[in-house]
Amino acid sequence: MTFVIVYTVLFPVVLNTVLGVRSVPLELHRAALSLGASTPRVLWEVVLPGALPNIMTGLRNGLGFGWRALIAAEIIVGTSGIGFLMFDARRAGSVVEILLGMIVLGMLWYIVDSWVLAPIERATGERWGLVTR
């Protein structure tokens, strides 16, 4: 179960991180090196801040995929959890429990996404000048 969740989270995070690193202009690397910055300092003060908005987007997408994988894993092999509750209610024919599970899942993800992940992503974009208030 853990492997499936890690597998679904890993690719969006890695791909967005690579995109973020590649989107940092080469001129900024060269400028930092010409001003005497060491390679670790260039990575820490040029590449990481330039890639951070993409990294945050990858984390947000990856956590969304991981959330879906968690529910799917609960349905397939779980013995507890909301996904298992919904699947067990399907077998029993309890539509109310299925709908309740769907509402709880939707509300939980909405809270996590809008109260935790979106503000972090927005603050990161504002901090590095990608978005203005």
Which domains are present in the chain? 2-127 (1.10.3720.10)
Query: What is the rounded average pLDDT of the residues 38-43?
Result: 92
Q: Indicate if the pLDDT at residue 130 is higher than 70.
A: no
Query: What is the rounded average pLDDT of the residues 36-55?
Result: 90
Q: Where are the alpha helices (DSSP H) in 1-133?
A: 2-23, 26-34, 39-42, 48-77, 82-92, 95-112, 118-127
Q: Indicate if the pLDDT at residue 64 is higher than 80.
A: yes
Q: Which two tokens stand for residue 70?
A: 């968690």
- Cα 122-125-127 angle, rounded to 5 deg: 105
Confidence of residue 16 (pLDDT cuts 50, 70, 90): very high
Q: How far apart are CA 22 and CA 51, in angstroms?
A: 8
What is the pLDDT, as a whole number, of residue 82? Answer: 84
What is the pLDDT, as a whole number, of residue 71? Answer: 86
Q: Which amino acid is located at 61 in the chain?
A: N
DSSP 79: S
- Quick one: which of 131, 130, 122, 132 has its CA closest to 60? 122
- Quick one: which of 117, 3, 118 has its CA closest to 70? 3
Which pTM value belongs to this model?
0.74
What pLDDT digit, counting tens, does each position of 91-129 carry? Answer: 888 899 989 988 998 898 899 888 888 888 777 777 766
What is the b/e burial string over 29-58, where b = at least 16 CB atoms within 10 angstroms of the residue's CB?
Answer: beebeeeebeeeebeeebbebbbbbbbbbb
Q: Indicate if the pLDDT at residue 1 is higher than 90.
A: no
Confidence of residue 36 (pLDDT cuts 50, 70, 90): very high
